[in-house]
Amino acid sequence: MKLVLVIPTYWGRRSGEPMRDDDACYDHPTCLDQPGTLQRALDSVAILRHGELRILVVGAAVAPDLEGEMEEKVSSLADGFRGRLPVAFLGPTALGRVKALVEEEAGEAAASVLDLRGYSNIRNACLAAACGLGAEAVVLFDDDEVYEDPNYLEKVEEVIGTEFQGRFVGGLAGVYVNADGSVFLPPQRDWVFSCWPSVESMNAAFRAIGEGEGLRVTPWVFGGNMVIHRELFMRVAFDPRVTRGEDIDYLINARMLGYRFFLHPGLRVRHLPPPKTAPLWRRFREDVDRFFYTREKISSRLPEGWCRVRPEELDPYPGRFLREDLEDLVFKTCVLMGLSYLFQGDGEGFRECMANLLRKETVLDGTPPALRYADFLEKYRACMAVIASSRRIQGYLESLYN
């Protein structure tokens, strides 16, 4: 089976340089003056056993003014593995070339889906590149992780694209193992989140990991340890309106279109994330936005033929945050977080927390999210179809390995 392993890598401003209002928000982008974690991730890829593997590093910067320096740095890091690994680099310049070719062959609408700003857009670029490289399945891996199991890809090949209990295995969810060897999150000790049960809900979901070795349908997936079969990634896109939690949203999109993701307890990677850099209120805003948006997506009008997904199907996580009491959870947490900022003498942080109380109106503009996503999906499928059939695009992507 031809696999393409794609590693998105996120880069931010130099050490000590504050985040700007219009910077894209990523959990822990690498500062441009720091070595980062990409080399460690690529070193670990070298242990994997597989005969038909391509590795593609996809680089994104938090702002356009950083893209040139980011491309130079990441390209140099990837080049350092030539000879050891079949690796290439795709950044804004290369994606721009692919986008121009798509526009020539399929028009501006199809090309518009290719972008490198925001988690969902970056993931879609990963899928598009994998499509052009002829992948039968794409393995998504993040640069803050390491492989420790040489047989990881062999385990993927055993099940992806097969049937399990009468269902097509189009998507696999793997497991994050923390630095201490646990698969669970540590207890939430920050009092500002005392009314936000994310850790408890996620750990309840992770308990399924220990319930035997076989596959089982899962309500959650990690973006840095997921496998998507070609049949699925040609039909289902990441939703660009979701700027955080795009991995679970993809699982929900797949469900609405009749597919399931399966937890594979044997697909394990070590997760070694650096400290997060965005302000707490900004990270929480991303969560507020995605839960309001996703709740509306699954409850409002759907395109004909799509499947309704109920919150209880996604329990315990993310289903806990897709119920009627979401407004109450958001209100209490925004107030507590705002008080914390006031205690620290941070008036701006307090005001941003209060602004988070109004995010529902900002996120939901009256257009049913599923219909909006369906419109994007039409453009995405047109883009993927032309990439899958264009020798020029495929030839260009192959040339990145020369």
Residue 310 belongs to some domain of the structure = no
- The amino acid present at 326, given as its one-letter code, is L
Residue 90's pLDDT is 98
Tens-place pLDDT, residues 346-357: 999 999 999 999
The pLDDT-based confidence of 50 (bands split at 50, 70, 90) is confident
Number of independent structural domains in the chain: 1
- pTM of the predicted model, to two decimals? 0.96
Residue 316 belongs to some domain of the structure = no
Domain that holds residue 228: 3-275+370-397
Residue 319 belongs to some domain of the structure = no
DSSP classification of residue 164: E
* Residue 329, CA distances (Å) to 224, 270, 287, 326, 357 in order: 28, 32, 12, 5, 11
Percentage with pLDDT > 90 across the chain: 91
Can you tell me the distance from the alpha carbon of 36 to that of 144, in angstroms, rounded to the nearest whole number? 9
Higher pLDDT: 51 or 304? It is 304
> Quick check: bond before 92 cis, omega within 30?
no
Residue 213 has pLDDT above 80, yes or no: no
Tens-place pLDDT, residues 243-300: 889 999 999 999 999 999 999 999 999 999 988 878 999 999 999 999 999 999 999 9
Question: CA-CA-CA-CA torsion for 259, 266, 51, 134, nearest 10 degrees?
Answer: 20
Residue 402 has pLDDT above 80, yes or no: yes
Q: Residue 92 sits in a domain of what CATH number?
A: 3.90.550.10
Residue 37 belongs to some domain of the structure = yes
Residue 365's pLDDT is 82
Residue 304 belongs to some domain of the structure = no
Residue 88's pLDDT is 98
Residue 317 belongs to some domain of the structure = no
For residues 360-382, average pLDDT: 93
The pLDDT-based confidence of 338 (bands split at 50, 70, 90) is very high
CB 70 within 8 A of CB 23: no
Residue 322 belongs to some domain of the structure = no
Residue 212 has pLDDT above 80, yes or no: no
Can you tell me the distance from the alpha carbon of 12 to that of 194, in angstroms, rounded to the nearest whole number? 31
Residue 146's pLDDT is 98
Residue 346's pLDDT is 97
Residue 275's pLDDT is 86
Helix H or strand E segment including 106: helix 92-106
Average pLDDT in the chain: 96
Assigned token pair, 267: 């697909």
Residue 308's pLDDT is 97
